[in-house]
Amino acid sequence: MLQHAVRAVKTVALLLLFCSASAMALPNTPQQNYLLKCSGCHDIDGSGTVAGGIPPLPGYIGSFLDDPQGRVYVLHVPGVISAGLDDTELADLLNYVNHKWGDVKARPFTAAEVKMNREHSVADVVKLRREIVSRFVRDGVKAGTYPWP
Ligand code: HEC
């Protein structure tokens, strides 16, 4: 009987330890942040949906990261700006996404660049994308199917 009680107490103690360890939560990995903050719209494989108005990332994200204005743009798309991630988490997340689906040779984001670019306000991201992509078309750079006018 006593043994059972001791075992039960030990189990509860272990559970508490486990719960408090996970509550102290290590920061999310970029992959976890992608799943939590981006995949709901862009899908796990980054494909998005044309019908839903979500552009695909694989094969195209690198074009934006290779372009100075494109780097400002990706930091101002609504899903990124409202992700609730700090500068370091966003830099790591965008580098992860780029590494997975973009141009591994693109210069990685640093927290300092994210901070600096976020301080610039972009009045109209759709217009900014249009400007960037018209240059891409001229220069033969790839951009994904974009559902917005
Ligand atoms: C609520 C849905 C939603 C979420 C969540 C979301 N996005 Fe998006 N994303 C969009 C839409 C819609 C666009 C295109 C609209 C625009 O450019 O303003 C877009 C555009 C983009 C683009 C530019 C692609 C292009 O071809 O123009 C990138 C890069 C991007 N998102 C990355 C992310 C990342 C990284 C996350 C997670 C932090 C994220 N998005 C979360 C809906 C979402």
Asked if 133 and 125 count as a contact pair (C-beta separation under 8 A), the reply is no
Instruction: State the DSSP H helix or E strand holding residue 45, giving kind and residue range, or none if neither.
Output: none
DSSP symbol at 38:
I
CA nearest ligand 1 atom 4, residue: 79
Give a yes or no: residue 108 inside a domain: yes
**What CATH number does residue 113 fall under?**
1.10.760.10
pLDDT at position 22 is 53
Q: Which two tokens stand for residue 11?
A: 């189990």
Give a yes or no: residue 104 inside a domain: yes
Asked if 65 and 98 count as a contact pair (C-beta separation under 8 A), the reply is yes
Give a yes or no: residue 33 inside a domain: yes
Give a yes or no: residue 98 inside a domain: yes
Total number of domains constituting the chain: 1
Give a yes or no: residue 7 inside a domain: no
Does pLDDT of 6 surpass 90?
Answer: no
- Specify the pTM: 0.85
Percent of the chain surpassing pLDDT 70: 83
| Of residues 53, 31, 27, 148, the one with CA closest to residue 101 | 31
Give a yes or no: residue 101 inside a domain: yes
Give a yes or no: residue 105 inside a domain: yes
To test the pocket of ligand 1, the residue of 75, 76, 77 to mutate (highest count of ligand atoms within 8 Å of its CB) is 77
87-111: per-residue pLDDT in tens?
999 999 999 999 999 999 999 999 9
Give a yes or no: residue 82 inside a domain: yes
pLDDT at position 14 is 44
To test the pocket of ligand 1, the residue of 39, 41, 142, 148 to mutate (highest count of ligand atoms within 8 Å of its CB) is 41
pLDDT at position 25 is 76
- Residue 121 CB coordination number (10 Å): 6
Q: Which range of residues forms the domain containing residue 84?
A: 28-139
Q: Would the CB of 136 count as within 6 Å of ligand 1?
A: no
